[in-house]
Amino acid sequence: MWGLHPLLRHVISAIVTDAPLPDRLARAITLAGPMPVSQFMAAANAHYYATRDPLGAGGDFVTAPEISQMFGELIGLWCADLWDRAGRPEVAWVELGPGRGTLAADALRAMAKAGLTPPVHFVETSPTLRAAQGERVPEAIWHEAVDTLPADRPLIVVANEFFDALPVRQLIRRGEGWHERLVACQDTLFLPIAGKPVPLDVLPESLRDAPAGAVLEISPASVTVMATLGRRIAAQGGALLAVDYGYEGPALGDTLQAVRGHGFANPFKTPGDNDLSAHVDFTTLAAAAQGAGAAAWGPVTQRDLLGQLGIDARAAALARAAPDKAEAILADRARLMGDMGTLFKALAVTRPDWPAPAGFGA
């Protein structure tokens, strides 16, 4: 009887075992060597989102649609207004990473009041969150990725805190050059190290001479999603609205963060048990959409967008309708418009011949 080569036996057990994720990652690194930060982040988040509902007071973090129904309603009005001014075509409505389905439920209600009742498509990989979404939006059609979205009509796409969850590569400056940042492991302790040098031409010229220790992040997965949707919108018509925390790059900075129980944690500890995210580079996302033939708008702050979409009037109307909740409604409005309102930004994408989207100052 031929015995399995010991290395093969390790590889097989690393793949098929249901050992905890940190053990599997540790074994994969022991066998194949340190892995790029992006691969570590992708594996950690896939496990994290597949195994829990992280949102809300009892979870790890709270998002804008979970703070107040006003957020989803105003985004629904943004969609309906654009659709109306585009001549009311037959569209499909798409949400990327819909969480619990709260934004979708609020947006669809507001859109229906404006006469827009489109088929609903969700791009979501987590089975746990798909189940939660199905309770709020039972008619939705789910997709693993954007490639399978309908190709025969304009798409109106929204994404709140989606792009920040997609993996980033990190490049780190060491000595004379830049290196891919890798995740190594000792026992089950993970730690970032500098890997092979990368060619200088992958770095924006303005940043090449940064001081030792400087980190540059790039998210190829985000660019791929945006380029695909930009191409679809340019070909089929439609628009996209992405809201996230981020910056107008290129910029240096290690923004990879882990959140657990509403506090910050070490991103390299207990992978799969805390939410990993990175700030979104809106300049690169806009360029990806433009490169695909679409028009990009903004970014504008969440505060400016919600202000222009009428959050004050909406809060006043809700408060009038439920006087006992007036204080809470105004507090929620303040939360969306305060620190969060400037940290979070919105980027819009349209087909160039579509009308200008509301809230982008055109």
Nearer to ligand SAH, 66 or 281 (CB): 66
Work out whether 66 is an interface residue with ligand SAH (CB under 6 A).
Answer: yes
Does 217 contact ligand SAH by CB under 6 A? Answer: no
Residues 148-187 that bind ligand SAH (CB under 6 A): 160-162, 165-166
**Per-residue contact flags (x/-) with ligand SAH for residues 13 to 32, judged by CB under 6 A:** --------------------
Q: Of 65, 237, 246, 249, which one interacts with ligand SAH (CB under 6 A)?
A: 65
63 lies in the binding site for ligand SAH (CB under 6 A): yes
On whether the CB atoms of residues 239 and 348 are closer than 8 A, the answer is: yes
Name which of 99 and 271 has its Cβ closer to ligand SAH: 99
Question: Among residues 28, 41, 55, 234, which is the contact residue for ligand SAH, using CB under 6 A?
Answer: 55
**Which of 98, 237, 246, 359 lies at the binding interface for ligand SAH (CB under 6 A)?**
98
Say if residues 205 and 250 touch (Cβ distance below 8 Å).
no
The answer to whether residues 86 and 117 touch, using CB atoms and an 8 Å cutoff, is no
**123 lies in the site for ligand SAH, by CB under 6 A:** yes
Among 30, 125, 270, 283, binds ligand SAH (CB under 6 A): 125
Whichever of 198 and 259 has its CB closer to ligand SAH, that residue is: 259
Whether residue 62 contacts residue 210, with contact meaning beta carbons closer than 8 Å, is answered with no
* Cα–Cα dist 160/344, whole Å: 10
10 vs 52 by CB, closer to ligand SAH: 52
Residues binding ligand SAH: number (CB under 6 A): 20
CB 127 within 8 A of CB 121: no
Give min distance, CB of 67 to ligand SAH, in A.
Answer: 10
Closer residue to ligand SAH (CB): 126 or 284: 126
Contact 161, 55 (CB under 8 A): no
Residue choice 72, 99, 271, 272 for contact with ligand SAH (CB under 6 A): 99
Of 129, 227, 258, 305, which one interacts with ligand SAH (CB under 6 A)? 129
The verdict on 246 binding ligand SAH (CB under 6 A) reads no
Residue nearest to ligand SAH (CB): 97
Distance in Å, CB of 131 to ligand SAH, minimum: 12
- Rounded to 5°, angle at Cα 210 from 204 and 211: 165
Give phi and psi for 83, each to the nearest 5: -60, -40
For the bound state, the minimum distance from the C-beta of residue 34 to ligand SAH, rounded and expressed in Å, comes to 23
Provide, rounded to whole angstroms, the least separation between the CB of residue 311 and ligand SAH: 17
List contacts with ligand SAH (CB under 6 A).
45, 49, 55, 63, 65-66, 97-99, 103, 123-126, 129, 160-162, 165-166
